[in-house]
Amino acid sequence: MSIVEFKLDPWSHVMIKDYEKLFQYFGIRPFNEVINKLKSVAEPHYLMRRGIIFGHRDFDRVVDAIIRGERFAVVTGLMPSGKMHFGHKMVIDQVIYYQRLDAEIYLVIADIEAYNVRRISRDDAINIALRDYVANYIALGLDKKNLHLYFQSNYKIKYYRLIQLIPRKLTLAELRAAYGEDIDVGKVISVITQIADILHPQLKDLGGFKHIVVPVGPDQDPHIRLTRDVAQRFNDELGLTPPSSTYHRFMSGLDGGKMSSSRPESYISLNEDPATAVQKLMKAFTGGRATAEEQKKLGGEPEKCVVYEFYAYHLIPDDEELRRAYLDCKLGNVLCGECKLKAAELLTKYLIQHNDRYEKALPKVSEYVEMPDF
């Protein structure tokens, strides 16, 4: 790929390599197939424009719904475990994008999965959900409009009924194929519950048919496939139809590994104090060369750079500015030290501003979600 060709999607070639199997064997389609159609009705989100959202299943149906002004819904969830970090932010950014396009939003707090699979106490799960996630969501711009934000443990009876009916349409062999041989009872109930999370907005008594899109990482695709199968099997009986899905790249961990809530050195939390955040960023893995000399000559490798990811995913919303940062690195004009200082400045500004919004959001949490008692 020459620099001239670069169109805000520095991962397109890497991606094809990484996710080739998804396209080839599992039927996920490239997102760029639908982006022009989406443009006819709405400006695509920068995560879409930049190829961070790279794949989909039946997202064209959702675009058609938007074009025709039909109802559609976004379903996603949060696992109340650990801190909310920048890797989590992507999904809620998408939710807010769709909410502004008049989507109904179904946001499930997976407290039951946290309890059964992560073995987190109910109290902890509830507190983490509210303080570490919901308050951040509100700070990021989540609105009360068309919002269904609920705990799995505290919701509507028709939802629980759907959870109970789903087992008829599934075999344990299918669950083992999707989640591994050592699946246990807690995981079984979590899977069934997640399927109900995705499908229940289509139930007759909960508003009836609407297009549904679930934004996920590619690791969640087995779950999407299973959910689509179950929907199909309920088509006659309950009028359910398969949900659409989109797939986004994951941010890399700061240390070059996976970004994970269980390793604080791998992520920056949205509620990190700026000094710690900057310290973590300065230590982060980059796409720099061995020496300054070499980098000036060969240019950096933003495609492999965690700092560049922070720009592209979060810190630089303006496409032209991002393009400049990319080229400055690629052409060897800006070396890692200077680049990190700039990122630190943007990050500090972001965190301070976010913290301000977070403090205002915190007392409002109970307006967004019904609190479960024990």
Interacting residue ranges for its own copies, rule: CB under 8 A: 112, 115-116, 119, 122, 152-155, 157, 160-161, 163-165, 167-168, 170-172, 175, 183-186, 188-189, 192-193, 204-205, 372-374
Q: What's the length of the chain?
A: 374
- Closest CB to its own copies among residues 114, 322: 114
Report residue 31 CA to chain centroid gap. 15
Q: Smallest distance from the beta carbon of 164 to its own copies, in angstroms?
A: 5
Q: Which is nearer to its own copies, 186 or 332 (CB)?
A: 186
Three-state SS at 269: strand
374, 364, 367, 369: which is closest to 153 by C-alpha? 374
Q: Which is nearer to its own copies, 115 or 137 (CB)?
A: 115
Contact 245, 56 (CB under 8 A): yes
Alpha carbons 157 and 43: distance in angstroms, whole number: 38
| Interior angle at CA 349, CA 346 and CA 351, nearest 5 | 105
Tell me how far, at minimum, the Cβ of 161 lies from its own copies, in Å.
Answer: 5
Q: Smallest distance from the beta carbon of 261 to its own copies, in angstroms?
A: 20
User: Which lies closer to its own copies via its Cβ, residue 18 or residue 237?
Assistant: 237
Measured from the Cβ of residue 102, the count of other Cβ atoms closer than 10 Å reads: 12
Nearer to its own copies, 145 or 168 (CB): 168
Within its chain, how far is the Cα of 115 from the centroid? Answer: 22
Nearer to its own copies by C-beta: 153 or 220?
Answer: 153
Q: Is the dihedral of CA 123, 125, 127, 128 positive or negative?
A: positive
| Nearest-approach distance from CB 113 to its own copies, in angstroms | 9
Min dist CB 289 to its own copies, Å, is: 50
Proportion of the chain in helix, strand, coil states, percent, rounded to 5? 60, 10, 30
Q: How far is the CB of 148 from its own copies (least distance, A)?
A: 16
